[in-house]
Amino acid sequence: MSHEPMTAGAVQKKSKIYSLSMTAVMAAVTCVLAPMSIPIGPVPISFTNLAIYLSLYLLGWKRGTVSYLVYVLIGMVGVPVFSGFTGGMGRLLGPTGGYIVGFIPMALIAGAVIDRFRNRGIQLAGMIAGTAVCYAFGTAWYCFQAGSSVGAALGLCVFPFIPGDLVKMLIAMALGPMIRSRLEKAGLYRG
């Protein structure tokens, strides 16, 4: 067997394959976690944001956001990957569709902060800021679709979710770097 060093082109090709593979894996993880939800009202408790936070730690903001966009496209064509095992454009255009769309700026904001800062407090602040933007998108859309007042929408769609979302952020902060470290040690992580 030859152990010749890989050429720059071969390394770049291997890196692209790894990048695409991990992006697809995290989109699949989101497809598995997101449909599992607990219905508590018009907006269910979902694990979508946990999957996104983990993707951001494992893939960085660009690939983490792309993995979420792949998930959204899969759901848009009707595959039941949205909360409660639903899918289709009707779900995106329905009263809770703004939260699905709001996860996109959440991923961009939280991912940019996670990538740039190693301080856990700043990372948490970035996830909180991103989640607040998601809440704003979702609440505005819910008010428009359901004809609800902002106060009523916040009471139904935001306030009950804050404690659980904070817990999901802390879980991602604990698991994300640990998983990434293990992938690095195994030679499987290419940041």
For residue range 64-82, list pLDDT tens digits in order.
999 999 999 999 999 999 9
What CATH topology corresponds to 15-178?
Answer: Arp2/3 complex 21 kDa subunit ARPC3 (1.10.1760)
Closest Cα partner for 53 from 134, 183, 172?
Answer: 172
What is the rounded average pLDDT of the residues 79-99?
Answer: 94
Band (126; pLDDT cuts 50, 70, 90): very high
Element (H, E) at 23: helix 8-33
Residue-range domain boundaries for the chain:
15-178
